[in-house]
Structure 1
Amino acid sequence: MGGDKTIVAVVGLCVILGMSVAEGYRNYTVGDDFGWSENPKLDYQTWAANYTFSLGDFLIFNTDNNHSVVQTYNSTIYKLCDDADAADNDTIEWSSADPSSTAPHPVSVPVQLRKVGTTYFFSGDYDGEQCRSGQRMMINVTYGQGLPWSPDDSPAPVGAQSGDDAAPETIVPYNFDHPRDIGDDDDENVASNSVVFWPCFAAHLNLLLLFVVGFLFYF
């Protein structure tokens, strides 16, 4: 009888630890090694179709200051490739572009997914020309495990606010003239899209402690 109880306890512990590994928020590098640019080799809608996005996940836009990152929930804004008449509650420009820049510099823009349903992204630079050339995508955000308890639990830094011309603090080396072959750096892609464990670590730790206390009390 005691042996059966031990087996049950071990199985329960394995389930809890398995949950800790399985759950977590993810970071997705948009376009993988090609980044966020006007690239005829990449269809962003096809790229997005390969993934399931959930609340709390981050999209990482590796781009430069000649491209913008606009997020909208408004399908009309998306179809027009123009956020000039967008409302504050449905459209955010996470990173604005500087068309006059003669020396583009690389930036990385993290955007957390915080609303269930359809979300649109595009680059609105050059009066929407980049968007119309294919720098756009529509994704569906599922509930998943819900949002982190607070913004402080988020797995990535916050990008530039709407209307802020300053580059986000996170800067990464990037060169759109010499994109890397996606197949050459699979390990880097795995790291970029890896599971982020910390947002749910505390919850699982509490669950594990409750299990241990119950186990000790039971035996």
Structure 2
Amino acid sequence: MACHLLLVAGFAVSLAGATDHIVGANHGWNPNIDYSLWSGNQTFYVGDLISFRYQKGTHNVFEVNQTGYDNCTMAGVAGNWTSGKDFIPLNDSRRYYFICGNGFCQAGMKVAITVHPLKHNATGDGAKNHGGDGAAQEAAAAAMPGAAVWMAVLAVAAAAVAILP
């Protein structure tokens, strides 16, 4: 049990450096919004999340290929989400295409993003808290809101492991 707590706490701490990109910001995932403008103002890295907020039952999210995106069809469906608060990990450096599959794609509910690989350098430039060395990442994570909570969870899990026979 304690090992599971440690694993979960470690995973949560590793996400502390990830950026959660909320599609449309305060406008959410809705028709008649320029998502190309929104995505053009974002920089996505491997390990980040893209989040869609919308009215459950009215809208949804489908990951499709470029043909599906261009034509608002289900071509190349790679995933679908329907919760209304969808957190999608961006695990690969590539182009992603998302549409609403409930007929709202033609009304602008589609977004294409490019996910960049993590920067691997020793300068620790800290751009968006990605890349750099371990010390720079720890410092960046410690400076993030909520990082102290995750560190406390990790400390409690480590203490639980230490007291097991």
The TM-score normalised by the length of structure 1 is: 0.45
State which of 48, 62, 67 in structure 2 corresponds to 1:57: 48
State which of 131, 134, 137 in structure 1 corresponds to 2:105: 131
Show the counterpart of 1:46: 37
Identity of aligned residues (%): 26
* Aligned residue type for 1:139: I
Question: 1:91-138 CA distances to partner (integer Å, 9 max, x unpaired)?
Answer: 11122xxxxxxxxxx821111111211111110113xxx111111111
Structure 2 CA distance for aligned equivalents of residues 196 and 124 of structure 1: 35
State which of 87, 91, 98 in structure 1 corresponds to 2:78: 91
Show the counterpart of 1:98: none
Show the counterpart of 2:116: 142
Structure 1 CA distance for aligned equivalents of residues 92 and 145 of structure 2: 20
8 A contact 1:55–1:145 mirrored in 2: no
Structure 1 CA distance for aligned equivalents of residues 147 and 23 of structure 2: 20
Show the counterpart of 2:139: none
Tell me the number of residue pairs that the alignment of Structure 1 and Structure 2 aligns: 113
- Runs of 4+ more than 6 Å apart: none
Query: Structure 2: any 5+ residue segments left out of the alignment?
Result: 1-15, 121-143, 152-165
Query: Structure 1: any 5+ residue segments left out of the alignment?
Result: 1-22, 96-105, 147-193, 202-219
The TM-score normalised by the length of structure 2 is: 0.59
**Structure number with bigger Rg:** 1
Structure 1 CA distance for aligned equivalents of residues 147 and 60 of structure 2: 30
8 A contact 2:21–2:49 mirrored in 1: yes
Show the counterpart of 1:110: 87
Structure 2 CA distance for aligned equivalents of residues 113 and 133 of structure 1: 25
Structure 1 CA distance for aligned equivalents of residues 146 and 116 of structure 2: 17
8 A contact 1:25–1:197 mirrored in 2: no
Question: 1:144-165 CA distances to partner (integer Å, 9 max, x unpaired)?
Answer: 269xxxxxxxxxxxxxxxxxxx
User: Given the alignment of the two structures, is residue 29 of structure 1 paired with residue 16 of structure 2, yes or no?
Assistant: no
